[in-house]
Amino acid sequence: MGTALMGELPSSCRESGGATPTRLVNIVLQSMGDVEEAYDWRWRRATGTVALTSAGDTFRLTNTYQDFGKILNTILIETDGYGELEVTNDVERFRAAQREWHDSSGQPELAILERDTTFTTVFGYQLRVSPTPDGSYNYSVDYLKVPAVYGLTDTPLWPPWMFRLWWLDAKWQALYAFDRKSGDWQAAKALYEAEIKRAREQLDEPEQSQLPRIHDGYGDAAAFTSSVIGLEGISFPVRRT
C-alpha cells in the first residue's frame, strides 16, 4: 500500500530514487491496527465455552482462547440447562458472594473477570466464580477477539470493505504527516470518518436473507398490523445459516 499511497502525495515527499519513506511504511502499518480497533466490529466476535469443574473456582480465558479480548455478554447461559452465571465488575459485590459461600460449594451464580497472573510474558484474563462449583458446568460465552499485531508481510483476515477503510485512514494520516500545509488531509479525514460511520451502521450488520412470502389464503393475516403484511402475504424474517 505504501507504494500506491505515494501517488497520492506530493513528489517532494519521496525519498531519493522514489523509494517509499520509512515514515510512510510506519503510517500504513499503524493504520492496520487503528481501523481494527476503531470499533467493536461484529466480525471480531466469537463464541466459546467456559468449562467449570469442582477442581477450582477459576477458568483461564486467555489460556483457552488466545485471541480473547473482552466478554460481551454479562449473563452466561449453562448449556445443559443449569441456569445462568452473571458476570459483574463490582468487586465488593463479588467479595460479598465469596464470604457468603465461604467453605461451601454449589452451582456458580456470580463471576468476575480478573487478571491471570500465571502469564508472565503476556497479559492474560481469567474468570473467577462464586460459589466454587460442586460439579461440572459449561457456559456459552460471547467475546471480542483482541486486535492482531501486523507486520510488513501480513495480510489481514478482514471483510472486503475493511480494506477501503484502511486505505482512507492511511491516506489522510500520510497527507497530514507529509503535506500538512496544503490542508488536503482535512477532506481526506472527513471522507474516512464518513466511511467508517457507514461501515458501522450498514456494512458490519449480520447478513440476512430476503424475507419469504407466505400466501394468506384463509385471511388469517387480519390479526396482524398492516406493517407486517405485504401484497403476497405475511413476511417472516429468517436468519441465514
Per-residue pLDDT, averaged over 210-219, amounts to: 41
Query: Do residues 80 and 17 both lie within one domain?
Result: no
Mean pLDDT of all residues in the chain? 82
Residue 186 lies in a domain: no
What predicted TM-score, i.e. pTM, was given to this entire model? Answer: 0.73
Region of residue 219 (phi > 0: left; psi between -120 and 50: alpha; otherwise: beta): left
Query: Do residues 62 and 140 both lie within one domain?
Result: yes
The residue segments making up the domain with residue 58 are 42-145
232 pLDDT exceeds 60? Answer: no
Give the least confident one: 35-39, 82-86, 195-199, 218-222.
Answer: 218-222
Q: Predicted confidence band at 128 (pLDDT cuts at 50, 70, 90)?
A: very high
Query: Do residues 67 and 104 both lie within one domain?
Result: yes
The residue among 124 and 240 whose pLDDT is bigger is 124
The grid coordinates of residue 222 equal: 387480519
Tell me if 125 sits within 8 A of 50, measured CB to CB.
Answer: no
Which residue intervals of the chain are DSSP H helices? 2-6, 22-37, 61-64, 91-100, 160-178, 184-198
Pairing of strands 75-78, 68-71: unpaired
Q: Predicted confidence band at 151 (pLDDT cuts at 50, 70, 90)?
A: confident
Q: Cα torsion for 91, 100, 85, 123, to the nearest 10°?
A: 40
What are the pLDDT digits (tens) for 18-55? 556 788 888 988 999 999 999 999 999 999 999 999 97
pLDDT reported for residue 15: 54
**Cell 482535512 belongs to which residue?**
186
Query: Do residues 135 and 75 both lie within one domain?
Result: yes
- Among positive and negative, which fits the CA dihedral 130, 136, 137, 138? positive
The residue among 137 and 121 whose pLDDT is bigger is 137
